[in-house]
Amino acid sequence: MGTASQLALGGLLALSPLLDATGLGGSPAVLVAGLLLGLPHGAVDHLVPAWLSARARPLPARLALLVGYTAVAGAGLAAFRAAPDLALVGFLIVSVVHFGTADVAFHAERDGRPVRTGVTATLAYGGPPVVVPLALWRDQVDPLLATVAPRAPALLTVEVRALALAVVLCAVAVTAIRDVRAGRARDAVGPLLLTGLFGTVPPALAVGAYFALWHSCRHVARLLRHDPRNTADLAAGRIGRPLRRFARQAAAPTVLAVAALTALVTWPGHRADPLPATVAVLAALTLPHAVLVAWTDRRGSGPPRRSGGGLLPRRKTRSHG
């Protein structure tokens, strides 16, 4: 899955001159489409604690998880209603951390290493999707930010963006060098690819493609590995049945999330632009999702399961030292 994600975004990067010439990829609709396509990756969060538990979780515990998840999402949505500017800036910071730690954990689980999410690697993977567009594509990004939160662009001054970009680029360079020295040359390509993608491809298309083809796909790969019912299939290199099982599990929650978004967009008196509601709903859902994923990373997923060439094959690597 990691290689497939790199190939997909690498192909998009190679086509960036054509995209610039044709004007494709600048529409907010492309961004919304990518965000919706990636929505199912968080749809089975309510099942993850049971998958990682040594014993069955009773019904009250599962209901408590759903209530807490909904409450945190509701609080995030209320924050966007009450103070959209601060909520959006906070969401951008949470996104950097969530995206970065997700990639670090993906690589650790694939290699059979303990999940240790250091600051440098987190910024190297989570920084490019957020910071690079903010710093290099202001003419396209700021109108989108202003649509969601009118004063947010003013909060992100030129100096703040330049400093954030410098920090992220340093983290990318350090992480790439570290991966090469540790014998993980393929991983070293990742931060460099993301930086190139978000630096050259229009941000609406880049963010949408990244969310659907990179972040979401890699998280689904982790979920397939965490579900104990998939162990035998993944060990034999079979991913068809695990993917179908995941699709069934994610279907109802995804439909509910899309229905909630549709209700907000079509509510009487709501402005026609669906972007603010889409971002607010996805940001609200991201908060409990990020908390649960962080808990998963800290708890660990037990002994690595070999996938026999499947989604998360384990390989032998040297430590960072």
What pLDDT, in 10s, does the model give residues 213-229?
Answer: 999 999 999 999 999 99
Tell me which range, 10-19, 106-115, 166-175, is most confidently predicted by mean pLDDT.
166-175
Q: What pLDDT, in 10s, does the model give residues 124-141? A: 999 999 999 999 999 989
Q: Check residue 220 and give its pLDDT.
A: 94
Mapping DSSP to helix (H, G, I), strand (E, B) and coil, where does residue 169 land?
A: helix
- What's this model's pTM, rounded to 2 decimal places? 0.85
Predicted local confidence at residue 36, as pLDDT = 85
Q: 233 with 239: CB under 8 angstroms?
A: yes
Report how far residue 33's alpha carbon sits from residue 278's, in angstroms, rounded to the nearest whole number.
10
305 domain residue, yes or no: no
**What tens digit of pLDDT does each residue of 135-165 get?**
999 998 998 889 888 899 999 999 999 999 9
Give residue-wise pLDDT tens across range 245-285.
999 999 998 998 888 777 766 666 555 566 677 777 778 88
Burial of 56 (0-12, 13-18, 19+ CB in 10 A): exposed
**Does residue 161 fall inside a structural domain?**
yes
State how far the alpha carbon of 14 is from the alpha carbons of 30, 205, 217, 240, in Å.
Answer: 18, 14, 21, 30
Average pLDDT value for residue range 299-311 = 46
Helices 84-111, 119-136: axis angle to 10 degrees equals: 130
Q: Confidence band (pLDDT; 50, 70, 90) for 49? A: confident
* HSE-up (13 A, CA, CB side) for residue 80: 24
Report yes or no on 317 lying in a domain: no
**How many Å apart are CA 212 and CA 228, to the nearest integer?**
25
User: How many residues are there in the chain?
Assistant: 321
* Within-domain flag for 309: no
Could you tell me if residue 173 is inside a domain?
yes
Q: Give me the helices (H) in 83-137, please.
A: 84-111, 119-136
CA distance 142 to 137: 8
Spatial contact of 276 and 73, defined as CB atoms under 8 Å apart: no
Across the chain, mean pLDDT equals 84
C-alpha 207/C-alpha 214 separation (Å) is: 10
Q: Is the pLDDT of residue 26 over 70?
A: no
Identify the band that residue 24 occupies on the pLDDT scale cut at 50, 70 and 90: low
pLDDT value of residue 6 = 83
Number of domains in the chain: 1
Q: Is residue 102 part of a domain?
A: yes
- pLDDT of 248 reads 95
Domain range for residue 120? 2-299
250 burial (CB, 10 Å; 0-12 / 13-18 / 19+) is buried
Determine, yes or no, domain membership for 54.
yes
pLDDT category at 33 given cuts 50, 70, 90 is confident
pLDDT at 265: 66
In a domain, 34, yes or no: yes
pLDDT score for 278: 72
